[in-house]
Chain A
Amino acid sequence: MIYLLIAFPLFMAAATFLWPSDRTRPWLLPIGGLGQLAVVLGAMSLTMHGAVLTGLSDWLRLDALGRLILGFVSVLFFLCSLYAPGYLALRADRPNRLFCGNLFLVQGLMSLVMVSHHLGLMWVAMEGTTLASASSLYFNHNARSLEATWKYLLIGSVGIALALLGSFFLAYAALKAGLESTLLFDALVREAPRLSPPWLHAGFVLLFVGYGTKMGLAPMHTWKPDAYGEAPGIVGTLLAGGVTSCAFLAILRMYHICVAAGEADFAREIFVATGLLSMAVGAVFMVRQRDLKRLLAYSSVEHMGILVLGIGLGGAATYGALLHLINNGLTKAVLFLSAGNIHRAYGSKMTSDVRGALKRVPLSGALFLAGFLAITGSPPFAPFVSEFTILSAAIRDGHFVVGGLFLLLLGVVFVGMGATVLGVVQGEPPDPPPGAPVLRDSVATGAPIVLCLALVLLLGLYVPRPLVTLVREAAAFLETAP
């Protein structure tokens, strides 16, 4: 069963590469997305009822954390795949074989990251996602996307290389302690109290920097605005919701080892500092941001900061952070996809050209506005719930300074992002260039986003019981040493 989680998307990737027709190929994406979702739900329901899914002599294991994040990423991928046929029909000018195939490849590698319980294997899979997603970034084949791809690839690879060094340090910590040196998580967690602290610290920092680069935490975020800015909306969604979640999971695994070693405070301080810095960097660069997609990229930096901040605060905030992972991912899907529609409709993503989206493309404009309200934490959308959970946990545990800064930065973000977004959706649209076809909203490119927004709204009003259980279990798994 556990092999199927990885094999199914890889099989779909192969099928997509071999599929002969550019016109019908995009329809494989929703089919594969649905299939993957079914497989993942099957695996989740099996493990929820006590079954243990392992493979490759314990190298693979679907645990509580993996269950939560894998489930979420599969949902996200499915939603994106619904959007893909409509989008690719508009981009019929470009061959999409590599694009579609690589989406499946990335999905398969992400699944591998989620279930791998071996530092080395996880590293290989993570680097794989970088390489596989690079070509999707270059989908538009122009100078700007080339630059973005180069930066993404190089910074990502270097970051990941540091993570490899960190993994080695961790293994060395075990070796130094006289243990059978190992890269298996379960063994590392079990033996954590005996690991050599200097090597553990060094390994943690390197892994955090490495995977933090991949996640886009400040100050390692520099590739992010470029990559998200030039990527097609669907790739942006998968990067912002999926690949970053993988990197976050890797950091959580490391954190888990630290907790088990009794070094949680060391990790938490780093988390809180980086989290606040990321939020601040995101907030500062969002103010007066003139590029729609770069705006979203900085928003992603900010929310990655919120995630690690939540983990750093610990306690109830851990629950909030894990919930926020889902809420942020879904809301980012709304934003990136609707921003993609607006970009198509205007042929530009600069605020100087894009005005009055509510009149030109009413549905996408409205969705973009709603997405903005959601991501900045306005009730009744889901991010409000998770951000509020984190904030209340901070206040309750006496972290007044952190809580205050958190609120302040959220306020700055709201104002900065609001200025740009309102400028885009309101006002009179400029006259379209004569002769050019004017793109309007369509069901194919609109309905999937509506579905996303509906989910965001639903999670804001009512968090279903199974999801609460999933998140609780994951948080408990993370916070407890065996």
Chain B
Amino acid sequence: MHALLDALVIAILALNLYALGVSRIRAVINAVALQGVLLGGLLFLVHATLDVRGALLVIATLVIKGVVIPAFLVHAMREAEIQHEVTPFVSFMSSMLLGAVGTGLAVGFAHTLPLAEPHTNALLVPASFATVWTGFLLLITRKKAIMQVLGYLLLENGIFLFGLLLLEAMPFMVEIGVLLDLFTGVFVMGIIIHHISREFSSISTENLAELKE
């Protein structure tokens, strides 16, 4: 049980590096989708007793994070006729190394935090920080709007990981609300990406540089 949990978390961390290192947008979407599925699996494992609410939540996570959002992004990509290459400001190698350094620091940092008794050895906390950091990296170092949405999704995944420690405190309503907000957010962003690609015939955010001092 514990080993399986660790394995899933490791897979999530590996997907972080993968998302930073690959050059095709579809691959990043797939990584984020797979991460969503793994999060659903983690939720399933962490839930000690699986009642109707828990089951609903697992299914909602799997469906929204693992299927609906990625499918929507793929759809948005096709609609907006986005080119498949990720265009980074910072090279793939550097962003991957930065991601790795961040992951290492996250492990060290989580070690210094006063964790509650059952979590002292859990990988969840460092994994959460590392994923948040990866999300930030993608947000900052990629030019295309869709990559920034993916970065935002990774960021949310990282926060979700931390939320797993707090399952008792997180009432069902809120979890569903967070998922719904996330979905709506991505939906609205997708629509705006569509508008951006129509307005500028490209979704590089370098076009969005008219408003400045």
List A residues at the B interface (Cβ < 8 Å). 118, 120-121, 123-124, 127-128, 130-131, 134-135, 138, 142-144, 146-151, 153-154, 157-158, 161, 164-165, 168-169, 171-172, 174-176, 178, 180-183, 196, 198-199, 225-226, 229-230, 285
- Whether the Cβ atoms of A147 and B208 lie closer than 8 Å is yes
- Whether the Cβ atoms of A143 and B199 lie closer than 8 Å is yes
Q: Indicate whether B165 reaches chain A with its CB closer than 8 angstroms.
A: yes
- Whether the Cβ atoms of B181 and A175 lie closer than 8 Å is no
- Whether the Cβ atoms of A196 and B139 lie closer than 8 Å is no
The residue from A144, A149, A157, A226 contacting B152, defined by CB atoms under 8 A apart: A157
User: What is the CB-to-nearest-CB distance from B137 to chain A, in angstroms, rounded to a whole number?
Assistant: 13
- Whether the Cβ atoms of B213 and A154 lie closer than 8 Å is no
Known: A120-B177, A181-B168. A158 touches B139 (CB 8 A): yes
- Whether the Cβ atoms of A165 and B171 lie closer than 8 Å is no
The residue from B165, B166, B188 contacting A135, defined by CB atoms under 8 A apart: B188
- Whether the Cβ atoms of B114 and A196 lie closer than 8 Å is yes
Q: Indicate whether B90 reaches chain A with its CB closer than 8 angstroms.
A: no
- Whether the Cβ atoms of A165 and B159 lie closer than 8 Å is yes
> Which residues of A have CB within 8 Å of B196?
146, 150
- Whether the Cβ atoms of B199 and A120 lie closer than 8 Å is no
Q: Indicate whether B4 reaches chain A with its CB closer than 8 angstroms.
A: no
- Whether the Cβ atoms of A144 and B210 lie closer than 8 Å is yes
Q: Indicate whether B1 reaches chain A with its CB closer than 8 angstroms.
A: no
| Residue in A closest to B132 when the chains form the complex, CB atoms | A165
> Which residues of B have CB within 8 Å of A154?
139, 148, 152, 189
User: What is the CB-to-nearest-CB distance from A345 to chain B, in angstroms, rounded to a whole number?
Assistant: 23
> Which residues of B have CB within 8 Å of A158?
139, 152, 155
User: What is the CB-to-nearest-CB distance from A274 to chain B, in angstroms, rounded to a whole number?
Assistant: 21
Q: Given contact pairs A120-B177, A124-B180, enumerate 10 new A-B contacts (beta carbons under 8 Å).
A: A134-B188, A142-B199, A144-B210, A151-B208, A153-B185, A153-B188, A154-B152, A183-B174, A196-B114, A226-B211
- Whether the Cβ atoms of B200 and A143 lie closer than 8 Å is yes
> Which residues of B have CB within 8 Å of A142?
199
Separation of A169 and B114 alpha carbons in the complex (Å): 12
| Residue in A closest to B165 when the chains form the complex, CB atoms | A172
The residue from A124, A196, A225 contacting B174, defined by CB atoms under 8 A apart: A124
The residue from B114, B170, B181, B199 contacting A146, defined by CB atoms under 8 A apart: B199
Separation of A351 and B121 alpha carbons in the complex (Å): 61
| Residue in A closest to B213 when the chains form the complex, CB atoms | A285
- Whether the Cβ atoms of A127 and B162 lie closer than 8 Å is no
User: What is the CB-to-nearest-CB distance from B141 to chain A, in angstroms, rounded to a whole number?
Assistant: 14
List B residues at the A interface (Cβ < 8 Å). 113-116, 132, 139, 145, 148, 152, 155-156, 158-159, 162-163, 165-166, 168-171, 173-174, 177-178, 180-181, 184-185, 188-189, 192, 195-196, 199-200, 205, 207-211, 213
User: What is the CB-to-nearest-CB distance from A477 to chain B, in angstroms, rounded to a whole number?
Assistant: 25
Separation of A148 and B192 alpha carbons in the complex (Å): 11
Known: A146-B196, A229-B211. A118 touches B188 (CB 8 A): no
User: What is the CB-to-nearest-CB distance from B162 to chain A, in angstroms, rounded to a whole number?
Assistant: 5
- Whether the Cβ atoms of B192 and A146 lie closer than 8 Å is yes
Separation of A139 and B188 alpha carbons in the complex (Å): 14
- Whether the Cβ atoms of B162 and A165 lie closer than 8 Å is yes
| Residue in A closest to B211 when the chains form the complex, CB atoms | A226
Separation of A178 and B195 alpha carbons in the complex (Å): 50
- Whether the Cβ atoms of B208 and A175 lie closer than 8 Å is no
Separation of A123 and B185 alpha carbons in the complex (Å): 13
> Which residues of A have CB within 8 Å of B155?
158, 161
Known: A120-B170, A175-B165, A199-B114. A147 touches B211 (CB 8 A): yes
Most chain A Cβ neighbours within 10 Å, of B158, B165, B192: B192
The residue from B148, B162, B174, B211 contacting A148, defined by CB atoms under 8 A apart: B211
Separation of A135 and B185 alpha carbons in the complex (Å): 12
Separation of A42 and B189 alpha carbons in the complex (Å): 38
CB-based closest 6 A-B pairs: A120-B174, A124-B177, A181-B169, A147-B208, A226-B211, A127-B181
The residue from B114, B162, B209, B213 contacting A176, defined by CB atoms under 8 A apart: B114
- Whether the Cβ atoms of B170 and A157 lie closer than 8 Å is no
Separation of A178 and B148 alpha carbons in the complex (Å): 38
Most chain A Cβ neighbours within 10 Å, of B181, B184, B196: B181
- Whether the Cβ atoms of A168 and B152 lie closer than 8 Å is no
User: What is the CB-to-nearest-CB distance from B48 to chain A, in angstroms, rounded to a whole number?
Assistant: 15
> Which residues of A have CB within 8 Å of B145?
150
